Amino acid sequence: MSNFDFAKGEVLLVDKEMEWTSFDVVKSIRGSLRKKYNIKRFKVGHAGTLDPLATGLLLVCTGKATKTIDGLQAQDKVYTGSIFLGGTTPSFDKETEIDKEFPIDHITEEQILKTTKVFEGEIEQVPPMYSALKINGKRAYLYARNNEEVVMKARKVHIHYFKITKIELPEVFFEVKCSKGTYIRSLARDFGLELNSGGYLSSLRRTKIGNYSVDEALNVNQIKDIISAFEPIKTTP
């Protein structure tokens, strides 16, 4: 533990729990570091938002390592999760209630496996309204929660692979490797549409960012225990 220098800069691998926001994680770790170093300001940031209902790898940078955030965010990511077929939600996941239902009797295993290929390579994707993207200086989810209509522009993303790992209709389980800026919620919605039905993301876990793996990650409380136990090196954050 004596090898840590949070002020000089560390990249912490956090296994984010469900219902925590990425900001919640940063705020909690920052609070522990401020207390340990006995200073009011301490640089802490994350490299890529995870939705509250998603779990898995979140890279949290401290001190001078915050300068590496842009580079970390640009790396490819791997996710596992599940898509519920036969319904849609406004948020494209379980944050909001099902607003429409669709038949799934016509969907076969062969169709499901074949449809994944439609989404591999460079594709255009429309982000969810319930997202942190800024439109005219305002987060998109704020428009959505106020029932205000705004146009979400399509963007190009790259899907390296989209694998089905298990089929238990109405749920389909998957693994995806994708580029920066990919919304797995949008992929779930579009996947359902391509099957002439509806779909929304029912679970999501991020397992990799570049060469970083969730297998090496710790939860927030474990990281806070490490911070509490080590002796700070006296440097300026």
Q: Is residue 129 part of a domain?
A: yes
User: What is the pLDDT, as a whole number, of residue 232?
Assistant: 67
CA distance readout (Å), 19 to 65, 140, 186, 196, 231: 26, 20, 20, 31, 31
User: What is the pLDDT, as a whole number, of residue 233?
Assistant: 58
Could you tell me which residue, 84 or 151, shows the higher pLDDT?
Answer: 84
Q: Which of 5, 24, 51, 76 is catalytic?
A: 51
Distance CA 18, CA 70 (A): 25
Q: Is residue 39 part of a domain?
A: yes
Number of domains present in the structure of the chain: 2
Q: Is residue 2 part of a domain?
A: no
Could you tell me which residue, 206 or 135, shows the higher pLDDT?
Answer: 206
If asked whether residues 107 and 180 sit together in one domain, one would say: yes
Q: Is residue 234 part of a domain?
A: no
If asked whether residues 54 and 112 sit together in one domain, one would say: no
Q: Is residue 5 part of a domain?
A: no
User: What is the pLDDT, as a whole number, of residue 83?
Assistant: 98
Q: Is residue 125 part of a domain?
A: yes
If asked whether residues 15 and 93 sit together in one domain, one would say: no
If asked whether residues 201 and 94 sit together in one domain, one would say: yes
If asked whether residues 86 and 199 sit together in one domain, one would say: yes
Spatial contact of 13 and 211, defined as CB atoms under 8 Å apart: no
If asked whether residues 190 and 100 sit together in one domain, one would say: yes
Spatial contact of 1 and 226, defined as CB atoms under 8 Å apart: yes
If asked whether residues 204 and 88 sit together in one domain, one would say: yes
Residue range(s) defining the domain that contains residue 175: 77-209
The average confidence (pLDDT) of the chain is 92
If asked whether residues 70 and 88 sit together in one domain, one would say: no
Least confident of 77-81, 109-113, 151-155, 196-200: 151-155
Q: Is it the case that residue 42 has pLDDT exceeding 50?
A: yes
Q: Is it the case that residue 235 has pLDDT exceeding 60?
A: no
If asked whether residues 110 and 202 sit together in one domain, one would say: yes
Question: Could you tell me the CATH number of the domain that includes residue 86?
Answer: 3.30.2350.10
Q: Is it the case that residue 87 has pLDDT exceeding 90?
A: yes
Give the mean pLDDT of 203-220. 98
Is residue 51 part of the annotated active site? The answer reads yes
Least confident of 1-5, 17-21, 75-79, 232-236: 232-236
If asked whether residues 14 and 116 sit together in one domain, one would say: no
Q: Is it the case that residue 237 has pLDDT exceeding 60?
A: no
If asked whether residues 45 and 55 sit together in one domain, one would say: yes
Q: Is residue 3 part of a domain?
A: no
Spatial contact of 135 and 129, defined as CB atoms under 8 Å apart: no
Q: Is residue 4 part of a domain?
A: no
Closest CA to 101 of 203, 192, 164: 192
Give the mean pLDDT of 36-44. 91
If asked whether residues 187 and 109 sit together in one domain, one would say: yes
pLDDT digits (tens, 9 = 90+) for 181-193: 999 999 999 999 9
pLDDT digits (tens, 9 = 90+) for 117-168: 999 999 999 988 877 778 777 787 787 777 777 778 899 999 999 999 999 9
